[in-house]
Structure 1
Amino acid sequence: MPDEIALLVADVYEAAGALRRLGERTARAEGLTQARWQVLSVASEEALTVPQAARRLGVTRQNVQRVANDLVELGHAAYTANPDHRGSPLLTLTPSGRDALASVTERATEQHRTLFAALPEKDVAAARSLLHRLLAELNRQERAAGEH
Protein backbone atom coordinates (compact mmCIF):
# COMPACT_ATOMS: atom_id res chain seq x y z
CA MET A 1 0.00 0.00 0.00
CA PRO A 2 2.79 2.57 0.70
CA ASP A 3 3.78 2.59 -2.99
CA GLU A 4 0.15 3.21 -3.98
CA ILE A 5 -0.06 6.06 -1.45
CA ALA A 6 3.08 7.71 -2.82
CA LEU A 7 1.76 7.31 -6.35
CA LEU A 8 -1.63 8.77 -5.38
CA VAL A 9 0.05 11.81 -3.80
CA ALA A 10 2.16 12.28 -6.95
CA ASP A 11 -0.97 11.95 -9.12
CA VAL A 12 -2.84 14.55 -7.03
CA TYR A 13 0.04 17.01 -7.41
CA GLU A 14 0.21 16.35 -11.15
CA ALA A 15 -3.56 16.84 -11.52
CA ALA A 16 -3.45 20.00 -9.42
CA GLY A 17 -0.71 21.42 -11.62
CA ALA A 18 -2.58 20.58 -14.82
CA LEU A 19 -5.79 22.10 -13.43
CA ARG A 20 -3.89 25.25 -12.39
CA ARG A 21 -2.51 25.57 -15.92
CA LEU A 22 -6.03 25.13 -17.33
CA GLY A 23 -7.26 27.78 -14.89
CA GLU A 24 -4.57 30.21 -16.02
CA ARG A 25 -5.49 29.66 -19.68
CA THR A 26 -9.17 30.10 -18.85
CA ALA A 27 -8.57 33.30 -16.91
CA ARG A 28 -6.19 34.68 -19.56
CA ALA A 29 -8.85 34.13 -22.26
CA GLU A 30 -11.07 36.52 -20.28
CA GLY A 31 -8.31 39.08 -19.64
CA LEU A 32 -7.66 37.95 -16.06
CA THR A 33 -5.10 35.97 -14.13
CA GLN A 34 -6.08 32.99 -12.01
CA ALA A 35 -5.22 35.00 -8.88
CA ARG A 36 -7.56 37.81 -9.96
CA TRP A 37 -10.26 35.25 -10.74
CA GLN A 38 -9.90 33.72 -7.27
CA VAL A 39 -10.10 37.08 -5.50
CA LEU A 40 -13.12 38.11 -7.59
CA SER A 41 -14.76 34.83 -6.70
CA VAL A 42 -14.12 35.01 -2.97
CA ALA A 43 -15.31 38.64 -2.81
CA SER A 44 -18.42 37.92 -4.89
CA GLU A 45 -20.38 36.31 -2.06
CA GLU A 46 -19.92 39.16 0.40
CA ALA A 47 -17.68 42.16 0.88
CA LEU A 48 -14.51 41.08 2.66
CA THR A 49 -11.40 42.70 4.04
CA VAL A 50 -8.15 41.70 2.39
CA PRO A 51 -7.10 39.63 5.45
CA GLN A 52 -10.46 37.81 5.39
CA ALA A 53 -10.09 37.06 1.68
CA ALA A 54 -6.53 35.83 2.25
CA ARG A 55 -7.66 33.46 5.01
CA ARG A 56 -10.46 32.07 2.81
CA LEU A 57 -8.02 31.51 -0.07
CA GLY A 58 -5.23 30.14 2.14
CA VAL A 59 -2.66 32.65 0.88
CA THR A 60 -0.83 35.62 2.35
CA ARG A 61 -2.48 38.95 2.97
CA GLN A 62 0.24 40.63 0.92
CA ASN A 63 -0.58 38.53 -2.16
CA VAL A 64 -4.29 39.31 -1.90
CA GLN A 65 -3.56 43.01 -1.29
CA ARG A 66 -1.55 43.21 -4.51
CA VAL A 67 -4.25 41.41 -6.51
CA ALA A 68 -7.05 43.46 -4.90
CA ASN A 69 -5.23 46.68 -5.78
CA ASP A 70 -4.90 45.45 -9.38
CA LEU A 71 -8.63 44.67 -9.51
CA VAL A 72 -9.46 48.14 -8.17
CA GLU A 73 -7.16 49.73 -10.75
CA LEU A 74 -8.88 47.70 -13.51
CA GLY A 75 -12.30 48.83 -12.28
CA HIS A 76 -13.38 45.30 -11.32
CA ALA A 77 -13.47 46.02 -7.58
CA ALA A 78 -13.66 48.89 -5.14
CA TYR A 79 -12.78 49.48 -1.52
CA THR A 80 -15.68 50.57 0.68
CA ALA A 81 -15.79 51.75 4.27
CA ASN A 82 -15.80 49.01 6.87
CA PRO A 83 -18.06 49.93 9.80
CA ASP A 84 -16.26 47.40 12.01
CA HIS A 85 -12.68 48.51 11.30
CA ARG A 86 -11.71 51.90 9.87
CA GLY A 87 -8.23 50.76 8.87
CA SER A 88 -9.34 47.69 6.93
CA PRO A 89 -11.74 48.57 4.10
CA LEU A 90 -14.05 46.05 2.48
CA LEU A 91 -13.36 44.78 -1.02
CA THR A 92 -16.50 44.74 -3.18
CA LEU A 93 -17.07 43.86 -6.81
CA THR A 94 -18.14 46.48 -9.30
CA PRO A 95 -20.56 45.66 -12.12
CA SER A 96 -17.50 45.25 -14.36
CA GLY A 97 -16.02 42.78 -11.88
CA ARG A 98 -19.27 40.81 -11.69
CA ASP A 99 -19.35 40.66 -15.52
CA ALA A 100 -15.71 39.49 -15.67
CA LEU A 101 -16.37 36.83 -13.03
CA ALA A 102 -19.50 35.62 -14.86
CA SER A 103 -17.60 35.38 -18.16
CA VAL A 104 -14.66 33.44 -16.76
CA THR A 105 -16.96 31.16 -14.75
CA GLU A 106 -19.05 30.41 -17.85
CA ARG A 107 -15.90 29.60 -19.83
CA ALA A 108 -14.63 27.34 -17.03
CA THR A 109 -17.97 25.52 -16.77
CA GLU A 110 -17.86 24.72 -20.48
CA GLN A 111 -14.26 23.53 -20.25
CA HIS A 112 -15.10 21.32 -17.27
CA ARG A 113 -18.03 19.77 -19.17
CA THR A 114 -15.70 18.95 -22.06
CA LEU A 115 -12.93 17.71 -19.77
CA PHE A 116 -15.16 15.41 -17.74
CA ALA A 117 -17.43 14.23 -20.59
CA ALA A 118 -15.39 11.04 -21.03
CA LEU A 119 -15.40 10.17 -17.32
CA PRO A 120 -18.28 8.24 -15.78
CA GLU A 121 -20.20 10.29 -13.22
CA LYS A 122 -19.87 7.52 -10.61
CA ASP A 123 -16.07 7.64 -10.94
CA VAL A 124 -16.06 11.42 -10.49
CA ALA A 125 -18.26 11.05 -7.40
CA ALA A 126 -15.98 8.34 -5.99
CA ALA A 127 -12.89 10.48 -6.59
CA ARG A 128 -14.55 13.43 -4.85
CA SER A 129 -15.53 11.25 -1.92
CA LEU A 130 -11.99 9.97 -1.50
CA LEU A 131 -10.52 13.49 -1.76
CA HIS A 132 -13.01 14.79 0.84
CA ARG A 133 -12.00 11.99 3.23
CA LEU A 134 -8.32 12.72 2.57
CA LEU A 135 -8.85 16.44 3.22
CA ALA A 136 -10.76 15.70 6.44
CA GLU A 137 -7.89 13.53 7.66
CA LEU A 138 -5.31 16.16 6.69
CA ASN A 139 -7.32 18.82 8.57
CA ARG A 140 -7.62 16.52 11.60
CA GLN A 141 -3.85 15.94 11.64
CA GLU A 142 -3.13 19.67 11.21
CA ARG A 143 -5.39 20.51 14.16
CA ALA A 144 -3.77 17.79 16.27
CA ALA A 145 -0.29 19.06 15.40
CA GLY A 146 -1.32 22.60 16.29
CA GLU A 147 -2.53 21.52 19.72
CA HIS A 148 0.86 20.25 20.84
Structure 2
Amino acid sequence: MPDEIALLVADIFEAAGALRRSGEATAAAEGQTQARWQVLSVVSDQPRSVPSAARRLGVARQNVQRIANELTKEGLTEFTANPDHRTSPLLALTPEGHRVLAAITARAHASHQHITARIPDADIAVVRAVLQGLTAAVRQPDGAGSRSEPGPA
Protein backbone atom coordinates (compact mmCIF):
# COMPACT_ATOMS: atom_id res chain seq x y z
CA MET A 1 0.00 0.00 0.00
CA PRO A 2 1.41 3.45 -0.87
CA ASP A 3 2.44 5.83 1.88
CA GLU A 4 -0.81 7.80 2.17
CA ILE A 5 0.74 10.82 3.91
CA ALA A 6 3.37 11.13 1.17
CA LEU A 7 0.61 11.04 -1.45
CA LEU A 8 -1.40 13.61 0.52
CA VAL A 9 1.61 15.93 0.73
CA ALA A 10 2.14 15.59 -3.03
CA ASP A 11 -1.55 16.38 -3.63
CA ILE A 12 -1.35 19.44 -1.36
CA PHE A 13 1.70 20.74 -3.24
CA GLU A 14 -0.03 20.16 -6.57
CA ALA A 15 -3.18 21.95 -5.37
CA ALA A 16 -1.09 24.79 -3.93
CA GLY A 17 0.68 25.24 -7.26
CA ALA A 18 -2.60 25.29 -9.18
CA LEU A 19 -4.12 27.76 -6.72
CA ARG A 20 -1.00 29.94 -6.89
CA ARG A 21 -1.25 30.07 -10.71
CA SER A 22 -4.96 30.88 -10.45
CA GLY A 23 -4.19 33.62 -7.89
CA GLU A 24 -1.52 35.11 -10.14
CA ALA A 25 -4.01 35.27 -13.01
CA THR A 26 -6.64 36.85 -10.75
CA ALA A 27 -4.22 39.52 -9.49
CA ALA A 28 -2.80 40.13 -12.99
CA ALA A 29 -6.27 41.06 -14.25
CA GLU A 30 -5.99 44.11 -11.97
CA GLY A 31 -2.34 44.83 -12.84
CA GLN A 32 -0.97 43.22 -9.67
CA THR A 33 0.90 40.10 -8.62
CA GLN A 34 -0.19 37.60 -6.01
CA ALA A 35 2.54 38.83 -3.65
CA ARG A 36 1.30 42.41 -3.97
CA TRP A 37 -2.28 41.20 -3.46
CA GLN A 38 -1.20 39.47 -0.24
CA VAL A 39 0.44 42.63 1.09
CA LEU A 40 -2.64 44.70 0.22
CA SER A 41 -4.81 42.13 1.93
CA VAL A 42 -2.73 41.82 5.10
CA VAL A 43 -3.00 45.56 5.80
CA SER A 44 -6.63 45.86 4.73
CA ASP A 45 -8.14 45.29 8.17
CA GLN A 46 -5.72 47.57 10.02
CA PRO A 47 -2.42 49.33 9.36
CA ARG A 48 0.59 47.17 10.21
CA SER A 49 4.31 47.61 10.36
CA VAL A 50 6.27 45.84 7.64
CA PRO A 51 7.73 43.34 10.16
CA SER A 52 4.24 42.59 11.49
CA ALA A 53 2.87 42.10 7.97
CA ALA A 54 5.80 39.82 7.10
CA ARG A 55 5.23 37.68 10.22
CA ARG A 56 1.54 37.37 9.43
CA LEU A 57 2.32 36.31 5.86
CA GLY A 58 5.18 34.02 6.90
CA VAL A 59 7.65 35.67 4.53
CA ALA A 60 10.86 37.68 4.80
CA ARG A 61 10.56 41.27 5.99
CA GLN A 62 12.76 42.45 3.13
CA ASN A 63 10.33 41.09 0.54
CA VAL A 64 7.38 42.84 2.18
CA GLN A 65 9.40 46.07 2.46
CA ARG A 66 10.20 46.00 -1.27
CA ILE A 67 6.57 45.39 -2.19
CA ALA A 68 5.33 48.01 0.30
CA ASN A 69 7.67 50.57 -1.24
CA GLU A 70 6.38 49.74 -4.74
CA LEU A 71 2.73 49.91 -3.64
CA THR A 72 3.36 53.24 -1.93
CA LYS A 73 5.03 54.69 -5.05
CA GLU A 74 1.91 53.68 -7.00
CA GLY A 75 -0.42 55.27 -4.46
CA LEU A 76 -2.03 52.02 -3.29
CA THR A 77 -0.56 52.19 0.22
CA GLU A 78 0.94 54.82 2.45
CA PHE A 79 3.22 54.83 5.46
CA THR A 80 1.89 56.51 8.60
CA ALA A 81 3.41 57.19 12.00
CA ASN A 82 3.51 54.26 14.38
CA PRO A 83 2.74 55.41 17.93
CA ASP A 84 4.33 52.25 19.32
CA HIS A 85 7.60 52.36 17.37
CA ARG A 86 8.90 55.58 15.83
CA THR A 87 11.32 53.83 13.42
CA SER A 88 8.82 51.28 12.10
CA PRO A 89 5.96 53.12 10.36
CA LEU A 90 2.60 51.55 9.71
CA LEU A 91 1.54 50.53 6.21
CA ALA A 92 -2.07 51.34 5.34
CA LEU A 93 -4.23 51.16 2.23
CA THR A 94 -5.15 54.34 0.42
CA PRO A 95 -8.63 54.71 -1.12
CA GLU A 96 -7.15 53.53 -4.44
CA GLY A 97 -5.59 50.55 -2.65
CA HIS A 98 -9.00 49.66 -1.21
CA ARG A 99 -10.51 49.90 -4.70
CA VAL A 100 -7.85 47.65 -6.26
CA LEU A 101 -8.11 45.12 -3.43
CA ALA A 102 -11.92 45.06 -3.73
CA ALA A 103 -11.64 44.41 -7.48
CA ILE A 104 -9.16 41.57 -6.96
CA THR A 105 -11.28 40.12 -4.16
CA ALA A 106 -14.40 40.18 -6.35
CA ARG A 107 -12.52 38.39 -9.13
CA ALA A 108 -11.20 35.84 -6.63
CA HIS A 109 -14.70 35.22 -5.27
CA ALA A 110 -16.03 34.57 -8.76
CA SER A 111 -13.09 32.27 -9.48
CA HIS A 112 -13.62 30.35 -6.23
CA GLN A 113 -17.31 29.91 -7.06
CA HIS A 114 -16.38 28.47 -10.45
CA ILE A 115 -13.64 26.21 -9.01
CA THR A 116 -15.88 24.78 -6.29
CA ALA A 117 -19.14 24.57 -8.25
CA ARG A 118 -19.05 20.76 -8.30
CA ILE A 119 -17.67 20.26 -4.78
CA PRO A 120 -20.28 20.15 -2.00
CA ASP A 121 -19.78 22.66 0.83
CA ALA A 122 -19.71 19.77 3.32
CA ASP A 123 -16.72 18.22 1.49
CA ILE A 124 -14.89 21.54 1.55
CA ALA A 125 -15.53 21.81 5.30
CA VAL A 126 -14.13 18.31 5.87
CA VAL A 127 -11.02 19.02 3.80
CA ARG A 128 -10.46 22.27 5.68
CA ALA A 129 -10.73 20.50 9.04
CA VAL A 130 -8.30 17.79 7.95
CA LEU A 131 -5.81 20.35 6.59
CA GLN A 132 -6.06 22.41 9.78
CA GLY A 133 -5.34 19.28 11.82
CA LEU A 134 -2.42 18.36 9.58
CA THR A 135 -1.03 21.89 9.82
CA ALA A 136 -1.28 21.83 13.62
CA ALA A 137 0.48 18.47 13.75
CA VAL A 138 3.29 19.68 11.47
CA ARG A 139 3.78 22.77 13.62
CA GLN A 140 4.39 20.64 16.71
CA PRO A 141 8.16 20.43 17.24
CA ASP A 142 9.35 16.87 16.59
CA GLY A 143 5.74 15.73 16.51
CA ALA A 144 5.40 16.43 20.25
CA GLY A 145 1.82 16.27 21.38
CA SER A 146 0.69 14.28 18.37
CA ARG A 147 1.51 10.83 19.75
CA SER A 148 -0.90 8.77 21.74
CA GLU A 149 1.97 7.01 23.49
CA PRO A 150 5.21 8.39 24.89
CA GLY A 151 8.18 8.18 22.57
CA PRO A 152 11.44 6.41 23.32
CA ALA A 153 13.36 7.74 26.29
Q: TM-score range by the shorter chain?
A: over 0.9
Q: Which runs of 5+ in 1 are unaligned?
A: none
1:57 alignment counterpart: 57
The answer to whether the Cα contact below 8 Å between 2:137 and 2:143 also exists between their aligned partners in 1 is: no
The alignment status of 1:3 with 2:3, answered yes or no, reads yes
What do residues 73-132 of structure 1 show as CA deviations (whole Å, max 9, x unaligned)? 110000011111111110010000000000000000000000000112221111111101
CA contact 2:79–2:90 (8 Å) conserved in 1 = yes
Describe the SS at the equivalent of 2:88.
Answer: coil
TM-score, normalising length: structure 1: 0.93
Residue 108 of structure 1 corresponds to 108
Paired position in structure 1 for 2:68: 68
* Number of corresponding residues: 144
Which residue of structure 1 lines up, in the alignment, with residue 94 of structure 2?
Answer: 94
- Please, what TM-score do these two structures have when normalized by structure 2? 0.90
* Counterpart position of 2:46: 46
The answer as to 2:35 corresponding to 1:35 is yes
RMSD: 1.4
User: Which protein is bigger by CA-based radius of gyration?
Assistant: 2
SS at match of 2:48: coil
Matched to 1:45, the amino acid is D
Give the unaligned 5+ runs of structure 2.
Answer: 145-153
Determine the structure 1 residue equivalent to 2:16. Answer: 16
- Between the aligned residues of both structures, percent identity stands at 60
